[in-house]
Structure 1
Amino acid sequence: MQDASTHYTGNVMTTTQWPRDERPRERLLAHGPEILSDTELLAIFLRTGTTGMPVMALARHLLDEFGSLRGLMTTSHNGFCRVKGLGTAKYAQVQAAMEMARRVMDEPVRQGDPLISPEETRRYLRSRLGTQHHEVFAGLFLDNRHRVIRYQELFRGTIDGAAVYPREVVRHALDFNAAAVIFAHNHPSGIAEPSQADISLTRRLKEALGLVDIRVLDHMVVGHGEVISLAERGLM
């Protein structure tokens, strides 16, 4: 008689065939998702393995292949589908899950709502920019009561950087009738530390927007898990 942990259905092992107290889903329901490892969370998402590879083994293989959950969740369609056991359907599931998480993070910062705290702004910008593969420069445009008018991606660049034109930034701010703006961009390297070029650009934008009486409140640099405020650093 086979042990429950080695039962297969059509040569593909599922999470429902493990001992109950070892199943990731049951552990999540009993103790909360925070106790699960990345492998267990991914196994719940995948639900089944492939022929010759149980779901936990597949989950470990994918984390090794992509380096992390982040690497897996943010890879391209082609990069995702080239791995045995994955395909377009699973890729669509990943993208839907990412977008749902992004929208949950976005909810506190909706059009017409006031910004409550720097940390809320950080969370919002991290959800928008933290998974981008290329550098994106964006603006969060606000009215005179710091209510959100619009979040707008202004410039996109290569992995090395984005060209930002102050004249275009001023035009967008005037089009949106903004009284203030918070700028943000990501560092695809994952290191959020602002560069000298970031500091110089911020000062040029602040000067250009000051000519039309629009305040630059901050410029935030988004890395992998960290968002650094130039205003808090005294670099404005």
Structure 2
Amino acid sequence: MTIALFPEPKIRDVHVEDRPRERLIRQGAQSLSNQELIAILLRTGTKQESVLTLSNRVLTYFEKLHGLKHATIEEIMSIKGIGEAKAVQLLAAIELGRRLSQKQVDERFTIRSPQDAATFLMPEMSSLQQEHFVVLFLNVKNQVMHKQTIFIGSLNSSIVHPREIFREAVKRSAASIICSHNHPSGNATPSPEDIEVTKRLQEAGYIIGIELIDHVIIGDHQYISLKEKGYM
């Protein structure tokens, strides 16, 4: 028995009003699925499959949209049907999204609560694959004057030395600081080392006269404030 094989429908076979590009123009980008948005960036599929099928394979490869934040050009190009040009288009869109997200919380951002600190830090820090220890230097109005990554690597009390942090705080004439680091595992629960480092920095701040307001741990779209948890 011979089984008839039917070619996969192409975008041109989809009714004009239902095509992603036309729907975006008519209804706005927010009305499109992740698959459709990626299809617009890829523009075309291959001889064997439609651009919608190709975009769905991209999402499957990276285990939904979140995984694309860490994608490299080599990983994207390893997907059948995606060459250098398509990979570059995707990476450019990802980077623009990251920069726009960070720009929204930059420039004299005022921190009144741990939630504010998390809002400022999370767009960048929740996607990092290594631990980053970041310090926010605030003025007397609790506005962020400067943000600096102090070190990259696993948190250790011998590495996170108060001298490095408070030297920068004095240089910036900061009234107070907020420390933060991320947990690449996604779980923001503080470790004993996190708590020990926080207490050392808090004690140093009291002596110098520059208050450590909080230490915020960033996970996967979640955060924990050590101040709220009563560790400081």
**TM-score if structure 1 supplies the norm length?**
0.81
1:216-235 to 2 correspondence within 5 Å? 216-235=212-231
The AA in structure 2 aligned to 1:153 is T
Per-residue CA distance 1:29-57 (angstroms, 9 max, x = gap) = 55554454332232222222233121111
Match for residue 12 of structure 1?
A: none
Distance 1:42 1:220 in 2: 34
Structure 2 unaligned runs (5+)? Answer: 1-7
1:94 deviates by 3.5
Indicate which of 66, 71, 77 corresponds to 1:75.
71
SS in 2 for 1:151: strand
Match for residue 128 of structure 1?
A: 124
Residue 193 of structure 1 pairs with residue 193 of structure 2: no
1:20 deviates by 2.9
Structure 1 unaligned runs (5+)? Answer: 8-14
Moved more, 135-144 or 32-41: 32-41
SS in 2 for 1:234: coil
Figure out how many residues of one structure are paired with residues of the other and give that number.
Answer: 224
CA contact (8 A) 1:141 1:150 kept: yes
Indicate which of 133, 142, 145 corresponds to 1:137.
133
Indicate which of 58, 62, 84 corresponds to 2:58.
62
**Structure 1 pair 63–101 and aligned structure 2 pair: CA distance change class (3 A):** closer
1:116 deviates by 5.5
Distance 2:83 2:161 in 1: 40
Distance 1:100 1:85 in 2: 24
1:130 deviates by 1.4
Match for residue 52 of structure 1?
A: 48
**Structure 1 pair 103–118 and aligned structure 2 pair: CA distance change class (3 A):** farther
CA contact (8 A) 2:106 2:120 kept: no
Indicate which of 122, 143, 149 corresponds to 1:147.
143
CA contact (8 A) 2:174 2:210 kept: yes
Per-residue CA distance 1:183-226 (angstroms, 9 max, x = gap) = 11111112222222212211111112222111111111112221
The AA in structure 2 aligned to 1:201 is V
SS in 2 for 1:183: strand
Indicate which of 175, 180, 191 corresponds to 1:179.
175
Per-residue CA distance 1:156-186 (angstroms, 9 max, x = gap) = 12xx556423221222222222111111111
Distance 2:95 2:24 in 1: 22
**TM-score if structure 2 supplies the norm length?**
0.82
Match for residue 5 of structure 2?
A: none
Residue 97 of structure 1 pairs with residue 93 of structure 2: yes
Distance 1:90 1:119 in 2: 37
SS in 1 for 2:133: strand
1:141 deviates by 0.9
CA contact (8 A) 1:109 1:121 kept: no
Distance 1:82 1:164 in 2: 39
Distance 1:233 1:66 in 2: 35
The AA in structure 1 aligned to 2:197 is L
Match for residue 9 of structure 2?
A: 6
Per-residue CA distance 1:124-178 (angstroms, 9 max, x = gap) = 2111211111111111111111121111111112xx5564232212222222221
Moved more, 88-97 or 138-147: 88-97
CA contact (8 A) 1:108 1:120 kept: no
